[in-house]
Structures are given as C-alpha cells and as structure tokens.
Amino acid sequence: MIPHIVFVDRDSLPVPVPAFGFPHRYTEYAASTPAQLIERCHDADIIISNKVPFTAQTLAALPALKLLAIAATGYNHIDVEACRRQGVAVCNVRHYGDETVAEHAFMLMMALMRNLPAYQRDVAAGVWQNAAQFCHFGAPIRDLQGATLGIVGSGGIGQAMAQRARAFGMTVLFAERKGAAVVRDGYTGFDALLARADVLSLHCPLNDETRNLIAQPELMAMKPGAVLINTARGGLVDEEALVAALKFGQLGGAGFDVLSVEPPRDGNPLLKARLPHLIVTPHVGWASAEAMARLAAQLSGNINAWHAGERCNRLD
C-alpha cells in the first residue's frame, strides 16, 4: 500500500523539500490547528510537523500513523512517550542551524553590549544634532574583549557560540545543570556562573526541568548590568520577571528571539515593554536561506531512511 505523507504546517518551512525516494501520496496544508489534525491526518502513515502539537489524545486517534517527522530540532510539542507506546517512530532535524542560531545570538549580544538600539533611538529623536560635543554620550558602551560569556547548553549551538566569543577575546564558561550536586570538569556551577557572567546566553532545550530556568531569583543573582540572550525557547525565562529586572536596572539588556507563546496573538510582556535595552526578534534565528535548505534536506533524508529501514534521527 502506498504510504500517505501529510505535512500539517507547510508554510513554516518556506523552501523546497527534496523529493521523497519512494512511491507515496502527498498532502500538505499551509497551517493546521490541533483541532484539525484528526480529520486531516486520519489515514496518514507519515506526518511532517514543525510546531503543531501532538498530544497522547491526538495520537490515539491516528491509528495509521507510523512516523512523525519533526521539521525542527525542538520536540517539546510532541508527546514522545505516547508515540513510543503507540509504536510511532519520531525523528527530528539536528545541527542544521548551529552556526546560524549562534550568529543570531552573537548579533544580539554585540548590539546590546554596545547599546545599539538606544543610540539608534537617540539619533532618530534628534539628540545628536543638539549635542554640545562632536559625539553624543548616552547609554554605556562595553567591549566584548575581556568580558565573560556564560552559556547554558553545551550542544552544537552553544559550542558555536563559544567559538565566536573566544575569537573576540571573551572568557567562556559553560553552566552546570541548575541544582546539580556535582560540577563536572569543564563546567561552572550554575549559581557561580550567574554571578560571574557579563552575558548569559541560553542554548538548552525546554522541558520540565528547564521551564522558568531563569526567574526572579536567578535574575537577581546575575551580575548587575549583565545581558541575557535567549535564542532557545521562550519558556526558559519568566518574562514578567525579566521586564521588571530590565526596568529596575538589574540587567543591562536582553535579546530574545523566542517567546513563551508564538505567535504572540494575545500580546506578551516583552512586546509591551518598549525598552531601548530590549531586542525582540520573531523567532528567525534559524531562518537563513542556507539553514532552511539544510533542514529541508535532512527532513527528506530522515523520511527516506526510515522508509528504507535505515538509521535516521530517531527520538523514540
């Protein structure tokens, strides 16, 4: 029987996907809500999903499903244990955006350490034109050379971020797991890292252990004036607490490419803040043309490998 492949949120990957190397029937939808999944995927053998959630209840209503191919690295929206119980293989796409996301995080760090948004605002407001000197001295400007970067998450993106930071003369520390009793070689205790880092950059997955990893206590424990970068997942940080820390001057800046709910149709504390030392980008750190092409190729490769009974990036 020819397998039916359904891509439930095709518009989330705006590049061509290489052809699958076996006979199949293919259906795609620009986007899908969780409520539409059962109707659209009732006879699907293979489902491709980027960010559409699949709960145990939804999976139980899809008895034909054999493979759930995630068009991304993160899989916190998939009940992997339910897939395992149901015999559904799950695969994701890995390391396609390590360099790309690291570049985005590095860009945010540089802009905030130099207070670029604040100076852009001042120039637009005519402050420079009225300055008494040849330049306008506004928000503080700091060098990366000699500063300390703390990284949470030592995977591909974290390592790529570290490589770039060292090239700029920064000291790089990798954080041990929060609450860990033992600090591994090559890592720094979580609390000690918070106190030392001039910049803290998050590159870890979102799960039950990391949700609200950075909340009010952690923000207060950070080095005064430090910069917080998050290009991982929005749920890692308590957003209300972050805005308060920025407004009260505990932090020197924050750069976020992710929010707790995306898209933020009902608003978000970070979008309401409108602070010159806060940069929010719309989850595009991964979205260079080169990275998306690598993602699409690996996505197709995962499905072809699974169908051929070969090794793919399985999670289950």
Task: Give catalytic residue positions.
Answer: 233, 262, 283
Does residue 282 have a cis peptide bond before it, meaning omega lies within 30 degrees of 0? no
Dump strand ranges (E) for 242-292. 251-256, 278-280
Q: Which residues are CB-neighbours of 182 under 8 A, at least 6 positions away?
A: none
Q: What is the DSSP letter of 277?
A: T
Of 82, 79, 149, 60, give the one whose Cα is nearest residue 113: 149
Cβ–Cβ under 8 Å, residues 222 and 197: yes
Dump strand ranges (E) for the chain. 4-7, 25-28, 46-49, 67-70, 89-91, 148-152, 171-174, 199-202, 226-230, 251-256, 278-280
